[in-house]
Structure 1
Amino acid sequence: MEYVIGVDLGTSAVKCLLLDRAGNVVKEAERSFSVMRPAPGYSEQDPDDWVRGTVQALKELSTVEGDVKGISFSGQMHGLVLLDGKGDVARPAILWNDTRTTNQCRFIEETAGLHELLRVVKNRPLEGFTLPKLLWVKENEPQLFEHASVFMLPKDYVRYRLTGEIATDPSDAAGTLLLESRTGEWSKNLLDLFGIPVALCPPILPSDEKAGNLNAETAEETGLIEGTPVFTGGADNACGAIGAGILTPGDTMCSIGTSGVIVSYEEDADVDYEGALHHFHHAVPGGYYAMGVTLSAGHSLSWFRDTFAAGESFDHLLQEAATVPPGANGLLFTPYLSGERTPHADALIRGSFIGMDASQTRGDFVKAVMEGITFSLKESVEILRSKEKTIDTIVSIGGGAKSDAWLQLQADIFGAEVVSLVTEQGPGLGAGILAATGSGWFSSIEEAAETFIRYGKRYSPGAEAAAAYEKVYTIYKQVYPNTRLINEQLYPFRKGGNDA
């Protein structure tokens, strides 16, 4: 038997999938990581923990008899890994959810100009991106920055350790705020403007191109064959989109995990969302994707469960909400527990329950949370539609795709047919598709996806529910502008805020 391996390097764990030629998951292995938070707003990991976890998981997969023809990667975006002159890690990786770089973001915007940034890199400077992290290190750890030899994204460091070769791909490079959208190359103007040597930037290779071969050390540690081709891979959202079949114009995906994203395929490098949505290179050669983000999607529901229904299952809570009508009996929830990204790039805003009264039950609150998460994601869908994109079908993955009731709710709120997947493996499957394509099993990523992806049940909008949700959605959109100032005034009283 012949196999490929898709490695999905997440924030909390690395998951490796062993896939056969039909796209079946023959075996999977996972290893968890911890996150270091040495100061408020800081979020770091030891990159060598990623390597150890990946090697252990690959060793577990190698027990299956057969030949592994290729390995590829999906990885958490934006994280900064710096290597010193010896090729060793210079400091802990600064992760995508680290928020220490607000001052650097303002500096970037003031120095380069927001209009120019949106023209060149298609994105606003946000704390999550890599460029602000580089500038933070340059300002706060100048000796370390001066002696750094190269920066990497997380998956690229793991691949480097497995192969000895340094590279990144367009989809991860796009998340640095340094990649010219039109050319797909590092922006010399931005590098010069911020004093970043071009030599610090890794070479950029296509996501399905071979970036190296498995070295002898890794082969011995994992039980895999030395020289096994290792392909470049892509950013987690790009690989998740491949794993959901988001490969042609108009294809759109909703993913509800801890955060929530709406991803839609783009073929135009010049489409202008004026910074309202992210615009990144896809892992599909020549493709792009637009992305909106809800920071606390599934996290809102898990927060509610942990706070008000500790020990109870999500299934039980969703059953309580199943019979609640649209509008949750007059209750609204905004999922701004950690601030918001789309369409309100606001770090200070916080969530609200609006319309509480003594007649409402816990099921009403659960339904309001589900609706609020989906309303927030609908705002991204509406931005896409405002550019005359036809969004009539949405592939749903993540925790929100594990409930028939929530899938139907998505269809009703989005006003689109919602499609589930038979077997959902997300970014790991996308990485496997890149490995299968790079290994020559298929002539294109699209052809590989036809074999590897299997669609499940479809959910159509109900006319009565959809009409009701349009009315509630109109009310929902009024909550942010009417609570923004209140939340700013409450900020000093929060844990971790300034003294009241």
Structure 2
Amino acid sequence: MKEYVLTVDVGTTNLKCIIFDKNGKQIAKETLPNVTEYPKPLFAEQNPEQWIFNLKKITDKLSTLYPQEMESLTCVALTGQMHGPVLINVDSLQVLYPCMIWSDIRAVEEVKVLKDKFGEAYFLNKMGNLPQEAFTLPKMLWLKNHEPFLFKRAIKLVFPKDYLAYVLCGDVSTDYSDASGSLLYDIYKKNWDKDLLKELGFRLDILPDVVDSSCIVGAVSREAAGEFHLPSGLPVIKGAGDLAATALSTGAGVEENVSLCVGTAGQLLFCSDKIRKEVLGKLYVFLHCIPDKYFYLGTVPTGGSALGWFLSSFWGGDPDLFWQKVGEIKKINTDRGLVFYPFLMGTGTPYFNYQAKAAFLGLQVNHKMEDVVLAILEGIAFALKDSLEEALTTFRKVERVILSGGLARLNIWPKIVSNVFNLPTYLVPYVDTASVGACLLGMEAMGLSRETLFKAEDFEGCQFLPEERYAEYYLRLYSFYKSKMVSVLS
């Protein structure tokens, strides 16, 4: 019986493949790193051909270790990092330029041009978001200004997960979530803003078709089947951007939930059935992978990567020992007087100041590694609470936090979150939330059960409640953090 789903996640840090059974249970997982190059200040690039190399190696290993499951796949479902343009020549099958991933912020001047030429209201009233360097449109404009020869070819714009679909089955399309993350797509009318593109001097045929996230976009070609050890004719499911897939799998759409996912970056996710204009320009808004739904995003660009930065910059020993020591922290020390602003790559929401710098306040000679680590984790939570405070001015009352991402594996992190937010916090029973979301979309496409959707009872035994002592401590510390924000942002 064909009862397995293979998910492929083109993440910022890794390319990840997981085999799920028909009940959503993980059977196998393999990952390989996606190396990011930083050739100049503000640049952050990945080579899409490396994603393909990683996929070949992983599927080769899976076919060796799990031959029966790989032969019994019902579909392959995709997800991946958002915003980064992949420009392909559909005649020669070549990738024309490295993918400028979301953290690439070189397009500073292009953002200024967009704001000056069209005005901020234009983008808020069509795309729901203000121009930011992370979005696709400023990156495309930078390429047009600095690499104009690219646009003289038979070129198509797709996104990371879409490029894999193109390689697997020849499909050139994207889904609504990735389209809405481009700053090129009118989220009200649900179509590409061709007038904007024309005004900027782009060819209109560069744009891909937009389809539902659960759409079957093709079948694995005979050539791809041989390269990737997949059954020829295997259905390929379009899937969604990783944030939309995470929102689906963590119950962000359930009434009174907020999903908090901290991996490389930190993200706060809400869902709604309408566009709430009161928070436009304060939170990001995108089209969901669920039809006729939207999801709102609060973010800090350096989430768990802030710990990675500390490790690489100041830890001289074995990295595994570092993570072991961090994992052993179980108590919140309230006598430190140390605050961290995690703006190593700017602030994200609600300030949208990507030129802001990180800072420690109160650092003294008596502080130990554990004190600094706690301050970093607290700073991440405070930065995300800034976005929650904005959301609470418009959204219904939030009653619980659903916690996921790499930091969720640390013993101390759920305790910090529950007390900073002063809300019950539930730990999802799986780590790879975007992959689970892709699996659910694959199941829907193939008519399988979606029993792994969020249910409150799934989180029994994974609940963390605020403690009055720590909640009051963090209320005072957060107030201090806010009082010094102006000096950090200036």
State the TM-score bracket (shorter-chain normalisation).
over 0.9
Q: Which amino acid counterpart does residue 478 of structure 1 have in structure 2?
A: S
TM-score for both structures, normalised by structure 1: 0.91
Q: 1:269 Cα deviation (Å)? A: 2.6
Match of 2:484 in 1: 479
Name which of 373, 398, 421 aligns with 1:391.
398
Give the Cα separation in 1 of the matches to 2:483 and 2:456: 43
Give the match for residue 299 of structure 1. Answer: 305
The SS at the match of 2:279 is coil
Structure 1: how far apart are the matches of 2:437 and 2:278? 27
Query: In structure 2, what is the Cα distance between the partners aligned to 1:413 and 1:452?
Result: 22
* Structure 1 residue 270, shift from structure 2 partner: 4.3
Given that residues 267 and 286 in structure 1 are in contact (C-alpha distance below 8 angstroms), is that contact kept between their aligned partners in structure 2? Answer: yes
User: 1:454 deviation in Å?
Assistant: 4.3
- Comparing 415-424 with 355-364, greater Cα deviation is found at 355-364
Query: Could you say if the C-alpha distance between residues 5 and 470 of structure 1 is closer, same or farther in structure 2, counting changes exceeding 3 Å?
Result: same
Change (3 A) 1:270 1:388: closer
Q: 1:354 aligns with which of 358, 361, 367?
A: 361
Give the CA deviation at 1:367.
2.1
TM-score computed with the length of structure 2 as normaliser: 0.92
CA distance in 2 between partners of 1:162 and 1:54 (Å): 11
1:324 alignment counterpart: 333
Residues 304-313 or 60-69, more deviating? 304-313
How far 1:440 sits from its partner (Å)? 0.7
Contact 1:55 1:218 in 2 (8 A): no
Cα 1:49–1:483 shift into 2, 3 Å: closer
Cα deviation, residue 64, structure 1: 3.1
Shift of 1:388: 3.6
Q: Please tell me the residue identity of whatever aligns with 1:149.
A: I
Deviation at 1:249, TM superposition (A): 4.5
Corresponding position: 1:197 with 2:203: yes
Helix, strand or coil at the partner of 2:302: coil
Cα deviation, 1:326-376, whole Å, max 9, x if unaligned, reads xx5322111112222122222332122222345544433222222111111
Cα deviation for residue 291 of structure 1 reads: 0.5
The CA distance in 1 between the partners of 2:359 and 2:481, in whole Å, is 11
Kept in 1: contact 2:329–2:411 (CA 8 A):
no
Q: How does 1:232-247 map to 2 (within 5 A)?
A: 232-247=238-253
Displacement after TM superposition at 1:85 (Å): 5.0
Higher deviation after alignment, 379-388 or 316-325: 316-325
Query: Who is 1:22 aligned against?
Result: 23
Q: Judging changes above 3 Å, is the alpha-carbon distance between structure 1 residues 471 and 107 closer, same or farther for their aligned structure 2 residues?
A: same
Indicate how the Cα distance of structure 1 residues 41 and 351 shifts in structure 2: closer, same or farther if over 3 A, else same: closer
Correspondence for 2:439: 432
SS at match of 1:338: coil
Alpha-carbon separation, structure 2, partners of 1:453 and 1:44: 41
Among candidates 169, 173, 198, match of residue 167 of structure 1: 173
1:340 aligned counterpart, secondary structure? coil
Which range is displaced more, 370-379 or 447-456?
Answer: 447-456
Aligned to 2:146: 140
Q: How does 1:176-187 map to 2 (within 5 A)?
A: 176-187=182-193
**Structure 1: which 5+ residue stretches go unaligned?**
486-500
Whether the 8 Å CA contact 1:318–1:366 is kept in 2: the answer is no
Aligned residue for 1:252, secondary structure, equals strand
Residue 112 (str. 1) matches residue 121 (str. 2): no
Give the 3 Å change call, closer, same or farther, for CA 274–452 of structure 1 in structure 2: closer
Cα displacement string for residues 63-99 of structure 1 (whole angstroms, at most 9, x for unaligned residues): 3314111111111111111122514222222222212
Deviation by residue 1:137-184 (Cα, 9 ceiling, x = unmatched): 212222221324211111101111100111100001111101111122
The residue aligned with 1:281 is 287
Quote the Cα distance in structure 1 between the aligned partners of 2:118 and 2:443.
Answer: 41
Say if 1:120 and 1:180, in contact at 8 Å, map to a contact too.
yes
Task: Look up the match of 2:11.
Answer: 10
Q: Structure 1's 92 and 319: CA in aligned 2 closer, same or farther, altered over 3 A? A: closer
What's 1:493 paired with? none
What CA distance in whole angstroms lies between the structure 1 residues aligned with 2:197 and 2:476?
A: 48
Q: What is the match of residue 384 of structure 2? A: 377
Q: Does 1:449 align with 2:453?
A: yes
Q: Quote the residue 1:42 is aligned against.
A: 43
Match of 1:463 among 462, 468, 483: 468
Distance 1:450 1:348, change over 3 A: closer
The offset of 1:279, in angstroms, is: 0.4
Offset at residue 221 of structure 1 (A): 2.1
CA distance in 1 between counterparts of 2:365 and 2:227 reads: 61
Instruction: Quote the residue 1:220 is aligned against.
Output: 226
Distance 1:19 1:92 in 2: 31
CA deviation after TM superposition for structure 1 residue 402, in Å: 1.2
Which range moved further: 27-36 or 410-419?
Answer: 27-36
Map 1:332-347; keep pairs closer than 5 Å: 332-347=339-354
* 1:190 Cα offset (Å): 1.9
Q: Which residue of 1 aligns with 2:68?
A: 65
In 1, distance between residues paired with 2:214 and 2:452?
Answer: 12
Give the Cα separation in 1 of the matches to 2:154 and 2:47: 17
Q: Deviations over 1:401-428 (max 9, x none)?
A: 1123220110011121111022222211
